[in-house]
Amino acid sequence: MRLLWFFIALVVLGPWLSEYGLKLASEALILGLYAMAFNLLFRQTGLLSFGQAAFFGLGAYTMALLVARGGWPFPATLPLAFLVSALGALVIGFLSIRLSRIYFTMLTLAFAQLLYAVAHKWYAFTGGDNGITDLRPPGIWGESLFYYYAVLFLFALGVFFLWALERSPFGYALRALRDNRARAEAVGINAFGHLLLAFVISGALSGLAGALQGALQRSVFPDYLFWTRSAEAILATILGGSGVFLGPAIGATVFLLLRVVVQANTEYWPFFLGTLLLLMVLFFPKGLGGLALEMARKWPKGERRGASGS
Amino acid sequence: MDLGFYALQLLTGLAYASTLFLLSVGLSLIFGAMGIVNFAHGSFYMLGAYFLYAFTRGQADGFWGGLLLVLATGFVIGAFVERIFIRRVYARPEEYQILLTYALLLIIEDLVRFFFGTGYRAFPMPQAFAGPLFLFGTPFPSYYLFLIGLAAISALLLGLFLYRTRLGAWIRAATQDREMLEALGVNVPLLYTVVFGMGIALAALGGAALLPMQAATPGMAVDAVINAFIVVVIGGLASVWGALLGAVLIGLVQALGVLFLPEWAMVFPFALMALVLLLRPWGLLGRPPAVRT
C-alpha cells in the first residue's frame, strides 16, 4: 500500500516541476532503479558488486550505438539494452560467482574496468573518450515531462518486479543461500544457478537504467563504465539503507541533491563521496531508511507495522 | 628477431613482474592474516610513487634516501589506517570491511589530485642506472636489474621473516586460527597493525620503485589494485608464493602480449585469470576451501 502511495505522489509531482526539476527527478529515478538493481544482489544474496557500472554502461552503449549508428528509434533500443546487459552479466557472473563473496567483489570490479578500458580505447566502435553524442530522442521522447513519466513507468515496473521477486520462492531461496549456504544447498537449492540468475537480473535492470540515463543526458561516454559509476549505486544504497526495500531509491534522491550542492562548490566530488561512504559505514551502516525504521519502532503507531523491511 | 630481442622481452616482463609482486604480496599477506581484502591497496602503491616524488622534490640524487623514507612512511601510514579505521569494522560483516577500504580508495585518489594535481609526475633515472647494459648485443635499461633484484631480495627477506622468526610464525598462525592465537597470549590487534603496516609499506615501495620507469597519475590506484587482484586470483589469495608466481606469469604474459598483439595486450592478463578461474578457482598455489560460501 505504502508503495502505491509513493508512486501516486511521484505521478502528481510531475506537472509541478520545472524543466530542471524534471531532469533531476528523472535522473533520481534512473539512479534509484540502478541502485535497487545493485541492492537486489546486496540485500537478497549478500553479494557486493563493485562492477555494476559494467551493465549500466553496456545498456547505455547499446542504446547509443543503435540510435547513432543503426538509426533505431530510441524506445526500440530499450529491450535490446536490457538483453545485452543481461548477456554481459551472464558472462561476467559465470566467471565471478565461483568461489567466495570476496572473490566476487574483486572480480566484478576488475571486469567492469576491463570494459571501461575497451570502450576507452576502441575509437572506431565506441568513439573512445569522445563518446557518442547528440542522441536526441525523437518527438515526444525528447520532452522532459513525457520522459519523466516514461522513466517513472519503467522505474515502477522495475520496482514491482523486484518487490514480487523478493516474495517469490526464488527470493526465499536467495536469502536462504545468503544466510546459510551449506544448509540451503543441502535442501537442494542450486547455489550457482540461483546466484547467477540474480546477477543477470540485476545486470539487466542496471543496463536499462544506463540506457535511460544516456538518453536523458543525450550522450554516452566511457565514464558510464568507470568504477566511480559503480560507487554511485553503492553509495545511494548505503545512504538510503540496504535493508529497506525502497532505501536505495531514497538514497539516490538524497545523493543527487547532495551532488548538486557539492559540485556547485568543489570539483572534489569523489573525495566527498568517499568520506560520506566512510562515515556511513562506520557510524550509520543501516542508512537513512534504517534510521527511519528504528524511529518508527521506538514510537509505534499501532500494530500494522509489525513486519519490518518493506 | 634474434636471441637478444627475446631476452629483452623476458627482462621487461620480469621487471614488470617485480613491481607487481611488491604490490600484490601485501594484499595477500593482509588478507591471509586479517581476512580483509584491501581495495585501497593500489592507492598506497600510488602514494608510494607520489611520496618519492615529494620527498626528493623530483631530483634523482635523493633516490636512495627517498626510497627508504617511502618504505618507512608506508609502514606508519598503514599502521595508522589500521588503528583509526580498519580496527572499527573487524566485528562487522565482511561487506562493510570491504566498503570501508573502498571508501579509502575514493578518498585517496582525490587527495592526490588535490595535493599533486591531475598531471603526470615523472622522475629522472637515478645516476647509478643512467647507462644501458647489453644482453646478446641488445641494450636494455640497467634499472630492470635493480627492480628484479629488489623484488627477489624482498621475497627472500619476507620468506625468512615469515618462516624463521617468532613474529612471522604468529602471522602464519593468524591465517590458521586467530582465536587460538589470541588464547595463547599473542596480542593479535597489535599483530594486525604490524601486518597492515608491512603490506602497505611493500605496496608503497613497489609504487616508488616503478616511478623512474613510469610517471605517476591519480588514476593509477584503481588500475594497480585490479592488477594486484588478477595476480592473487591467479596465484591464490593468502599465499605469498602464489603472489610471486602470479606476478611472474602476468609480467611475462603482458610482455608477450605487447610483442605479438599490442592492441590486445591489456586483455591477456584477464584471459589468463579467466582460465584459472574456470580450471582452478582458488588459484594455482591456493588451497581449495573446505566449505564454499
B271 interfacial to chain A (CB closer than 8 Å): no
The alpha-carbon gap from A261 to the nearest alpha carbon of chain B, in Å, equals: 18
The pLDDT value recorded for residue B290 is 60
Share of chain A above pLDDT 90, in %: 35
Distances (CA, A) of B110 to A228, A252, B219: 12, 22, 10
The pLDDT value recorded for residue A300 is 63
Find the range with the poorest average confidence among B132-136, B194-198, B248-252.
B132-136
Rg (CA), chain B: 19
Residues in chain B within 8 Å Cβ distance of A95 = 274, 277-278
Q: How many CB pairs under 8 A join A and B?
A: 112
Comparing CB atoms, the residue among B100, B282, B289 nearest residue A278 is: B100
Comparing CB atoms, the residue among B92, B98, B110 nearest residue A270 is: B110
Share of chain A above pLDDT 70, in %: 96
The alpha-carbon gap from B82 to the nearest alpha carbon of chain A, in Å, equals: 14
B274 interfacial to chain A (CB closer than 8 Å): yes
B105 interfacial to chain A (CB closer than 8 Å): yes
Q: Is B290 among the domain residues? A: no
Per-residue model confidence as pLDDT tens digits over B112-150: 988 988 888 888 888 888 878 887 777 888 888 899 999
Per-residue model confidence as pLDDT tens digits over B91-113: 888 888 888 998 999 999 889 98
Instruction: Work out the angle between the directed axes of helices A191-217 and A74-96 (0-180°, nearest 10).
Output: 140
ipTM: 0.85
Cβ neighbours, 10 Å, residue B43:
28
Per-residue model confidence as pLDDT tens digits over A89-119: 999 999 889 778 888 888 898 889 889 888 8
The pLDDT value recorded for residue B1 is 56
Mean of pLDDT values over A175-204? 92
The alpha-carbon gap from A302 to the nearest alpha carbon of chain B, in Å, equals: 33
The pLDDT value recorded for residue A101 is 82
Q: Is B210 among the domain residues? A: yes
| Contact criterion met (CB < 8 Å) for B95 and A42 | yes
For all residues of chain A together, what is the average pLDDT?
A: 86
B277 interfacial to chain A (CB closer than 8 Å): yes
Q: Which residue has the higher pLDDT, A310 or A30?
A: A30
The alpha-carbon gap from A43 to the nearest alpha carbon of chain B, in Å, equals: 11
Per-residue model confidence as pLDDT tens digits over B4-52: 778 888 888 899 999 999 999 999 989 888 888 898 999 999 999 999 9
Mean of pLDDT values over B208-233? 89
The pLDDT value recorded for residue A199 is 95
B262 interfacial to chain A (CB closer than 8 Å): no
d(CA A212, CA B72): 49
Per-residue model confidence as pLDDT tens digits over A229-254: 998 899 999 988 888 888 899 999 99
Using 50, 70 and 90 to split pLDDT, how confident is the model at A1? Answer: low
CB A148 within 8 A of CB A26: yes
Examine the pLDDT at A309 and tell me if it is beyond 70: no
Q: Which of A114, A180, A267 to mutate to test the interface with B (most CBs of B within 10 A)?
A: A114
The pLDDT value recorded for residue A305 is 47
Examine the pLDDT at B249 and tell me if it is beyond 50: yes
B115 interfacial to chain A (CB closer than 8 Å): no
B287 interfacial to chain A (CB closer than 8 Å): no
Mean of pLDDT values over B246-253? 92
Q: DSSP per residue over chain A, as a string?
A: -HHHHHHHHHHHHGGGS-HHHHHHHHHHHHHHHHHHHHHHHHHHH----S-THHHHHHHHHHHHHHHHTT---HHHHHHHHHHHHHHHHHHHHHHHSSS-HHHHHHHHHHHHHHHHHHHHH-HHHH-GGG-B------GGGGSHHHHHHHHHHHHHHHHHHHHHHHHSHHHHHHHHHHH-HHHHHHTT--HHHHHHHHHHHHHHHHHHHHHHHHHHHT-B-GGGSSHHHHHHHHHHHHHH-TTSTTHHHHHHHHHHHHHHHHHHH-S-HHHHHHHHHHHHHHH-TTHHHHHHHHHHHHS--SSTT-S---
Q: Is B133 among the domain residues? A: no
Show which residues on chain A lie within 8 Å of chain B, measured between beta carbons: 42, 46, 48, 50, 95, 98-103, 105-107, 109-111, 113-114, 117-118, 121, 181-182, 191, 227-228, 231, 234, 238, 268-271, 273-275, 277-278, 281-282, 285
The alpha-carbon gap from B92 to the nearest alpha carbon of chain A, in Å, equals: 10
Task: State which residues form the domain around B119.
Answer: 3-123+140-279
The alpha-carbon gap from B11 to the nearest alpha carbon of chain A, in Å, equals: 26
Q: Is B80 among the domain residues? A: yes
The alpha-carbon gap from A39 to the nearest alpha carbon of chain B, in Å, equals: 13
| Contact criterion met (CB < 8 Å) for B95 and A101 | yes
Q: Which residue has the higher pLDDT, A197 or A266?
A: A197
> For position B240, which CATH number holds?
1.10.3470
B273 interfacial to chain A (CB closer than 8 Å): yes
| Contact criterion met (CB < 8 Å) for B277 and A50 | no
Examine the pLDDT at B291 and tell me if it is beyond 80: no
d(CA A232, CA A255): 8
Q: Is B285 among the domain residues? A: no
Examine the pLDDT at A142 and tell me if it is beyond 50: yes
Per-residue model confidence as pLDDT tens digits over B255-278: 888 888 877 778 888 888 888 888
Using 50, 70 and 90 to split pLDDT, how confident is the model at A306? Answer: very low
The pLDDT value recorded for residue B288 is 76
Per-residue model confidence as pLDDT tens digits over A32-70: 999 999 999 999 998 999 899 999 999 999 999 998 888
The pLDDT value recorded for residue A32 is 94
Examine the pLDDT at A82 and tell me if it is beyond 60: yes
Q: Is B287 among the domain residues? A: no
Mean of pLDDT values over A257-273? 85
The alpha-carbon gap from B149 to the nearest alpha carbon of chain A, in Å, equals: 29
Examine the pLDDT at A209 and tell me if it is beyond 90: yes
Per-residue model confidence as pLDDT tens digits over B143-192: 888 999 999 999 999 989 989 999 888 988 888 888 888 888 888 889 99
| Contact criterion met (CB < 8 Å) for B293 and A100 | yes
- Structural domain count, chain B: 1
pTM listed for this prediction: 0.87
Per-residue model confidence as pLDDT tens digits over A156-184: 999 999 999 999 999 999 999 999 888 98
Q: Which residue has the higher pLDDT, B30 or A299?
A: B30
CA B226, distance to chain mean position in Å, is: 11
Examine the pLDDT at B228 and tell me if it is beyond 70: yes
The pLDDT value recorded for residue B289 is 67
Q: Is B253 among the domain residues? A: yes
Residues in chain B within 8 Å Cβ distance of A101 = 94-95, 293
Q: From A266, which residue of chain B is nearest by alpha-carbon distance?
A: B114
3-class secondary structure, B140:
strand
| Contact criterion met (CB < 8 Å) for B114 and A100 | no
Examine the pLDDT at A307 and tell me if it is beyond 60: no
| Contact criterion met (CB < 8 Å) for A114 and B266 | yes
Q: From B117, which residue of chain A is nearest by alpha-carbon distance?
A: A268
| Contact criterion met (CB < 8 Å) for B267 and A114 | yes
Examine the pLDDT at B292 and tell me if it is beyond 50: no
Q: Is B129 among the domain residues? A: no
